[in-house]
Amino acid sequence: MRKVTRVSAIIDAKDLTKVYGGKVKAVDHITFHVTEGEIFGFLGPNGAGKTTTIKMLNTLASITDGTATVAGHDVKKDPGAVRKSIGVVPQELTADDELSGTENMMLMAKLHQVNGTTAKTRIANLLRLVDLEEAAGRKVKTFSGGMRRRLQLVMGLLHEPKVLFLDEPTLGLDVQTRSRMWHYIKALNKDRGLTVFMTTHYLDEADSLCDRIAIVDHGAIRVSGSPSELKEAHGGDIVTLTLSNETADLTPFFSGIEGVQGVTREGNTYRIKLPKTERALPAIVAGVVQKGVGISEISFSKPTLDQVFLDVVGRSMRDEEAPESDSAWENIRMERTR
């Protein structure tokens, strides 16, 4: 029998649950793990329970039910050891506006009992990492939004944590500043082997940064996996094919090709959904040619995480304020509570 070896989980959550004030079930029995060295993305619409999950793992919110370990320490039994192993960059910025960038860093160093030359060297290195060494002498109230986020990022790193929690690290930043943040996060992960647990509303960001993601909604994990696994399972490729001459409806023919998941037709143009274009494209083209029909245009598009999100959550991240009409999800919830 093949032996299954599991790389150690640096975050391990089992049935983690949070009920606020005995009424609001913000997190509902979630179970997941994060492997050491991974960038793990926690995605979901507003109010899904992302920040609450982070707060429980960070020892900042009490756990109503379930268990979690972070860096080998039980969050409930040994919160002090957990706090020493983690860096936290919260959703709300916490840097003091009236202090300079360097003073904020010094304050954090003191808080984590990093002193003397070690503190000075680390502060200088971290400020350089996020290109803030020039601005660091200025009061934070003069910083732009992007500069604040960059400062906040390195404020969580002074004690060299094993795991970094980032709650919406790029919220409200412009495209260039966002991609700069990605660059820093990737570098920290690659060069220092830092495990990153992050939440984000930007699906393109999760796609390019994260090794694995979990999509949460109503406090529960709906799906998890690598971005490509999820796209293959929920998105699929789309081949768009326009024929050069009128023929009989080829929908039944395309539908019959192995691997094809769906076909829609508009005049001479067919949209064919399939998990991987490479697998079925030869059969599609050969079949059309064999029928003596010409192809005037062919293109294919790879799926995006937006499609996955839409498929899983029932609405896109962009129109998350839309009223709930997800009866399938209600059924699942009812089954869970039975």
Ligand X SMILES: Nc1ncnc2c1ncn2[C@@H]1O[C@H](COP(=O)(O)OP(=O)(O)OP(=O)(O)O)[C@@H](O)[C@H]1O
Contact residues for ligand X (CB under 6 A)? 20-21, 24, 26, 44, 46-52, 91
Residue 24 vs 111, nearer CB to ligand X:
24
Q: State the residue for tokens 């984590």.
A: 112
CB atoms near residue 276 (< 10 Å): 12
The tally of CA atoms less than 13 A away on the side-chain side of residue 70 is: 30
Residue 196 vs 243, nearer CB to ligand X:
196
Q: CA-CA distance, 337 to 134, in Å (whole number)? A: 55
Q: Which of 216, 205, 220 is nearest to 39 (CA)?
A: 205
Question: From the list ligand X, Mg ion, none, which binds 80 (C-beta under 5 to 8 Å, kind-based)?
Answer: none
Nearest distance, CB of residue 46 and ligand X, angstroms: 4
Q: CA-CA distance, 41 to 180, in Å (whole number)? A: 18
Question: From the list Mg ion, ligand X, none, which binds 47 (C-beta under 5 to 8 Å, kind-based)?
Answer: ligand X
Residue 7 vs 24, nearer CB to ligand X:
24
Question: From the list Mg ion, ligand X, none, which binds 200 (C-beta under 5 to 8 Å, kind-based)?
Answer: none
Nearest distance, CB of residue 328 and ligand X, angstroms: 21
Residue 100 vs 224, nearer CB to ligand X:
224
Cα-to-chain-centroid distance, residue 227: 9
Nearest distance, CB of residue 149 and ligand X, angstroms: 15
Residue 67 vs 91, nearer CB to Mg ion:
91
Nearest distance, CB of residue 331 and ligand X, angstroms: 21
Nearest distance, CB of residue 11 and Mg ion, angstroms: 17
| Structural contact between residues 220 and 314, judged by C-beta atoms closer than 8 angstroms | no
Nearest distance, CB of residue 91 and ligand X, angstroms: 6
**Residues in the site for Mg ion, rule: CB under 5 A?**
50-51, 91
Q: Which of 175, 155, 174 is nearest to 165 (CA)?
A: 155
Q: State the residue for tokens 């274009």.
A: 277
Give, as one character, the DSSP assignment of residue 3: P
Residue 56 vs 257, nearer CB to ligand X:
56
Question: From the list Mg ion, ligand X, none, which binds 17 (C-beta under 5 to 8 Å, kind-based)?
Answer: none
Residue 38 vs 167, nearer CB to ligand X:
167
What are the angstrom distances between the C-alpha of 24 and each of 128, 141, 203?
43, 36, 27
Question: From the list Mg ion, ligand X, none, which binds 26 (C-beta under 5 to 8 Å, kind-based)?
Answer: ligand X
Question: From the list ligand X, Mg ion, none, which binds 227 (C-beta under 5 to 8 Å, kind-based)?
Answer: none
Q: What is the dihedral of CA 81, 82, 85, 90, to 10 degrees?
A: -140
Question: From the list Mg ion, ligand X, none, which binds 111 (C-beta under 5 to 8 Å, kind-based)?
Answer: none
Nearest distance, CB of residue 47 and Mg ion, angstroms: 8
Q: Residue 329: CB partners within 8 Å, gap ≥ 6?
A: 217, 218, 314
Q: Which of 29, 91, 35, 32 is nearest to 60 (CA)?
A: 91
Residue 327, Ramachandran bin (φ over 0: left; ψ between -120 and 50: alpha; else beta): alpha
Nearest distance, CB of residue 337 and ligand X, angstroms: 17
In the chain, the N- to C-terminal Cα span, in Å, equals 37
Backbone angles phi, psi at 89, to 5 degrees: -115, 100
Residue 102 vs 152, nearer CB to ligand X:
152
Q: Residue 177: CB partners within 8 Å, gap ≥ 6?
A: 145, 146, 149, 170
Question: From the list Mg ion, ligand X, none, which binds 24 (C-beta under 5 to 8 Å, kind-based)?
Answer: ligand X
Residue closest to Mg ion when measured from CB atoms: 51
Residue 16 vs 135, nearer CB to Mg ion:
16
Nearest distance, CB of residue 26 and ligand X, angstroms: 3
Question: From the list Mg ion, ligand X, none, which binds 20 (C-beta under 5 to 8 Å, kind-based)?
Answer: ligand X
